[in-house]
Amino acid sequence: MPASPIAKMRARANQPIRRLSEMEKQQRRQEAEKRRSKVPRYAVLVFSFLLVGSIFVEIYFYVLSSPRIKN
C-alpha cells in the first residue's frame, strides 16, 4: 500500500538538510553565468559606442544651431 502524502511530507521534513558542496556551488555559478551572458561582448561594445556617439552628435548639433550671443 502506498504511503499517504502526509506521511511523505513528514518523512521529508525529518530528513537532515542537504548542503551543497563547494564543487556543486561552483558548477551552479558557472551554469548561471552561462545563462546570464547571452549577448556577445562585441555587441555590447558596439551598441555602447553608438549610444555615446549619438549623444555627442546631438550635443554638437544643439550647440551649433543655438543662437549666438553678441557682445
7: left (phi > 0), else alpha (psi -120 to 50), else beta? alpha
pLDDT at position 6, please? 92
pLDDT at position 38, please? 77
pLDDT at position 1, please? 54
- Does the pTM exceed 0.95? no
In order along its 71 residues, the chain shows pLDDT tens digits of 578 999 999 988 888 888 889 999 999 999 988 887 778 889 999 999 999 999 999 999 998 888 877 65
Q: Which three cell numbers stand for residue 24?
A: 556543486
